[in-house]
């Protein structure tokens, strides 16, 4: 990972500011001959798109993606795929004060510390709008992985309110505005988040991404570990403060016997009797489900005035009007899925390069 590029063989470079003319990315290293049209990408962008319920920002962006290169007659050519989304709803006036004063929890102050100069409109480069391009790149990654690899995300806690895993239903995820796998929790969250939204406040969330059908062998010791790359990928998403794999922090409380994923032969195939490890051992996929969770802090833009300072060095009270998500974690679900997809596609190509292995190629 280097500034605005991630991945090694499947490489994604994103660019663009929240209120510039457009945002985009270049997807490099995609194998040739894969069927790809804008229609393969758009549904994932639509899942992340703002303004779809009262629980996400009311900014209206159609987020129509255009493929500008790398595809000929509906198939990838192996050359870089340039994707572009025009910004249409840029109410920069909403953000006029961002230039002058630092919003607590936002990157404004850090950008000025680093660069001494920033584009303040809508948060500029630090806006979560950038994640739209991750979702677009993730759609390409899914095509490389093929239908045998299924990557799905869900919100498993809003604030302190966790789902009941006994009621987990993947179908439910697409049927409520929270990507919540527990329909009863979804109903409760609606009431809670309405209260938070009306209070001008915000709340954090925990999200989970599960990848099924990942070919064993993906990942590489020691500094190309699959879990290390997933950790970096998820931690790079706006507002994320923690990442865990499998049992994660709970594993720290276990005894060796409790944490062991025992094995048995089923015919000529190794079967694991548990999945505390989250599908990864020594940085390498075992073929079990890969399970990753990440914590998203509450949206920093809130109506409550907070103590802060101005760029000119004066004390100030700051509150953010504008249009914001009361729980920014919701829209991070498709982003988390996309990041996992990109990491897996990259490791598929790398694994294939080093070992010649062809399993799992989605062509």
| 173: enclosing H helix or E strand | helix 170-173
129 is in an annotated binding site: no
Question: Rounded to the nearest whole angstrom, what is the least distance from the CB of residue 14 to its own copies in the complex?
Answer: 6
Question: Rounded to the nearest whole angstrom, what is the least distance from the CB of residue 152 to its own copies in the complex?
Answer: 20
- Residue 306 bridge partners (DSSP): 318
Plot region of 38 (φ>0 → left; ψ -120 to 50 → alpha; else → beta): alpha
307 is in an annotated binding site: no
Indicate the residue among 171 and 215 with the shorter CB distance to its own copies: 215
- Hey, what's the torsion of the CAs at 84, 89, 93, 96, to 10 degrees? -30
Question: Rounded to the nearest whole angstrom, what is the least distance from the CB of residue 275 to its own copies in the complex?
Answer: 12
297 is in an annotated binding site: yes
Let me know the angle formed at the C-alpha of 177 by 173 and 178, rounded to the nearest 5 degrees. Answer: 60
The answer to whether residues 205 and 333 touch, using CB atoms and an 8 Å cutoff, is no
Q: How many CB atoms lie within 10 A of CB 129?
A: 25
Indicate the residue among 30 and 172 with the shorter CB distance to its own copies: 30
Indicate the residue among 96 and 110 with the shorter CB distance to its own copies: 110
Indicate the residue among 39 and 273 with the shorter CB distance to its own copies: 273
301 is in an annotated binding site: yes
Question: Rounded to the nearest whole angstrom, what is the least distance from the CB of residue 22 to its own copies in the complex?
Answer: 5
What six digits make up the tokens of 308?
């802060």
Q: What are the CA-CA distances from residue 362 to residues 89, 134, 144, 173, 224 (Å)? A: 37, 20, 5, 25, 22
92 is in an annotated binding site: no
Question: Rounded to the nearest whole angstrom, what is the least distance from the CB of residue 228 to its own copies in the complex?
Answer: 4
- Residue 269 bridge partners (DSSP): 266
Helix ranges (H only) for 2-86 are 38-48
The answer for residues whose C-beta is within 8 angstroms of residue 356's C-beta and 6 or more apart is: none
Indicate the residue among 198 and 358 with the shorter CB distance to its own copies: 358
The answer to whether residues 161 and 185 touch, using CB atoms and an 8 Å cutoff, is yes
Strand, helix or coil for residue 311: coil
152 is in an annotated binding site: no
The answer to whether residues 23 and 17 touch, using CB atoms and an 8 Å cutoff, is yes
Question: Rounded to the nearest whole angstrom, what is the least distance from the CB of residue 174 to its own copies in the complex?
Answer: 22
Question: Rounded to the nearest whole angstrom, what is the least distance from the CB of residue 178 to its own copies in the complex?
Answer: 14
Phi and psi at 126, nearest 5°, equal: -85, 0
Strand, helix or coil for residue 167: helix
The answer for residues whose C-beta is within 8 angstroms of residue 198's C-beta and 6 or more apart is: none
Q: Which of 333, 25, 326, 356 shows the shortest CA–CA distance to 151?
A: 333
359 is in an annotated binding site: no
Question: Rounded to the nearest whole angstrom, what is the least distance from the CB of residue 77 to its own copies in the complex?
Answer: 5
Indicate the residue among 191 and 223 with the shorter CB distance to its own copies: 223
The answer to whether residues 326 and 299 touch, using CB atoms and an 8 Å cutoff, is yes
48 is in an annotated binding site: yes
Indicate the residue among 174 and 257 with the shorter CB distance to its own copies: 257
238 is in an annotated binding site: yes
282 is in an annotated binding site: yes
Indicate the residue among 171 and 312 with the shorter CB distance to its own copies: 312
Q: What CA–CA distance (Å, rounded) separates 329 from 180?
A: 11
**What residues form the annotated binding site for FMN?**
125-127, 238-239, 282, 297-301, 323
**What residues form the annotated binding site for NADP(+)?**
48, 54
**What residues form the annotated binding site?**
48, 54, 125-127, 238-239, 282, 297-301, 323
């Amino acid at each position: 990972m280097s500034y605005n590029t991630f991945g090694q063989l499947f490489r994604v470079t994103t660019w663009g500011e929240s209120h510039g003319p457009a945002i985009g990315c270049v997807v490099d290293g995609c194998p040739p001959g894969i069927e790809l049209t804008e229609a393969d990408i758009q549904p994932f962008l639509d899942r992340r798109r703002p303004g779809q319920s009262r629980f996400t920002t009311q900014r209206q962006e159609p987020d129509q993606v255009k493929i500008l290169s790398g595809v000929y007659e509906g198939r990838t050519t192996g050359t870089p795929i340039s994707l572009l989304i025009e910004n249409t709803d840029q109410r920069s006036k909403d953000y006029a004060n961002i230039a002058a004063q630092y919003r607590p929890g936002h990157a404004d102050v850090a950008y000025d510390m680093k660069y001494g100069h920033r584009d303040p409109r809508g948060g500029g480069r630090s806006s979560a709008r950038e994640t739209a391009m991750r979702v677009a790149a993730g759609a390409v990654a899914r095509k490389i992985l093929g239908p045998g690899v299924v990557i799905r995300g869900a919100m498993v806690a809003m604030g302190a309110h966790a789902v009941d895993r006994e009621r987990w239903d993947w179908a439910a995820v697409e049927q409520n505005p929270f990507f919540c796998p527990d329909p009863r929790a979804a109903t409760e969250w609606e009431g809670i988040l309405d209260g938070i939204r009306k209070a001008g406040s915000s709340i954090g969330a925990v999200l989970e991404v599960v990848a099924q059908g990942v070919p064993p062998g993906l990942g590489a010791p020691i500094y190309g570990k699959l879990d290390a790359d997933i950790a970096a990928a998820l931690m790079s998403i706006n507002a994320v403060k923690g990442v865990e794999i499998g049992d994660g922090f709970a594993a720290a409380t276990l005894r060796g016997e409790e944490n062991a994923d025992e094995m048995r032969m089923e015919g000529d195939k190794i079967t694991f009797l548990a999945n505390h490890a989250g599908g990864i051992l020594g940085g390498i996929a075992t073929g079990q489900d890969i399970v990753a969770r990440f914590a998203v802090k509450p949206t920093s833009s809130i109506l409550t005035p907070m103590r802060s300072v101005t760029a000119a060095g004066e004390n100030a009270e700051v509150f953010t009007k504008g249009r914001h998500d009361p729980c920014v974690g919701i829209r991070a679900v498709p982003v988390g899925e996309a990041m996992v997809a990109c990491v897996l596609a990259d490791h598929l190509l790398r694994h294939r390069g080093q070992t010649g292995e062809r399993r799992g190629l989605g062509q």
